[in-house]
A = this chain, B = another copy of it.
Amino acid sequence: MARPRKFDEDRVIDAAMDTFWRRGYEATSTRDLSERTELGPSSLYNAFGDKHQLYLRSLRKYQETATAEQVELLRAPGPVADRLRNLLSTAIDTDLSGTGRPGCFAINAAIERAAADPDVRDEVRSNFEVVERALRDTLAEGQRSGEIDPERSAEVLARQVLSTYYGLRVLARVQPDRAALLDVVDNLLDGFTRSS
């Protein structure tokens, strides 16, 4: 039929995501994207459209990889409290590790772009909902097994954990005090886990 592409689409989106994650949307130029993906601008535009669409693709990729990993932590075996603590403390460790990929890409997108870009808003909302749903399922499971206070709504608890979780990731951006952040995790879990 025609000339095939020389590049792997997944690797290109990975490189684009990494670039947007590190620098943000506005600070990333199309030349940055060309260099990091090793594609000429014409190939990039031909294959993916413009910068905006590449950003949306990057957000979806984040959900398929990083967010999926977070959900996996919640679906792991073991006590519910341990899984919740693991999710939050893993995020704290990642945020403080200085990988050059600051924080959570979805949160970054929410703050930098959601107000100005409805597409980004929708994509981020979807991302947040995936985590919230996993939290709700995990908390409901804990209620059934007696690990979590059954008096409170699992929905509300899930949103409570999500708020604290995302708040911690905001604080971690300027306050690299691991112990102080972990104290909040413990305090949060103390609020609705039953002593075993």
A contact residues vs B (CB 8 Å cutoff): 23-24, 26-27, 102-103, 107-108, 110-112, 114-116, 121-122, 124-125, 128, 152-153, 155-157, 159-160, 162-168, 170-171, 173-175, 180-181, 183-184, 186-188, 190-192
Contact across chains for B174 and A125 when beta carbons are under 8 A apart: yes
- CB-defined contacts of A183 to chain B, threshold 8 Å: 153, 155-156, 159
| Interchain CB contact (< 8 A) of A173 among B26, B110, B180 | B110
Complex CA–CA separation, A107 to B186 (angstroms): 24
Contacts A26-B26, A102-B115; is A171 near B166 (CB within 8 Å)?
Answer: yes
A112 to B181, CA, bound (A): 21
5 A-B pairs with least C-beta separation: A167-B167, A163-B167, A26-B26, A102-B115, A166-B167
Would you call the interface of chain A mostly helix, strand, loop, or mixed? helix
Q: Closest CB-CB distance, A25 to chain B, in whole Å?
A: 8
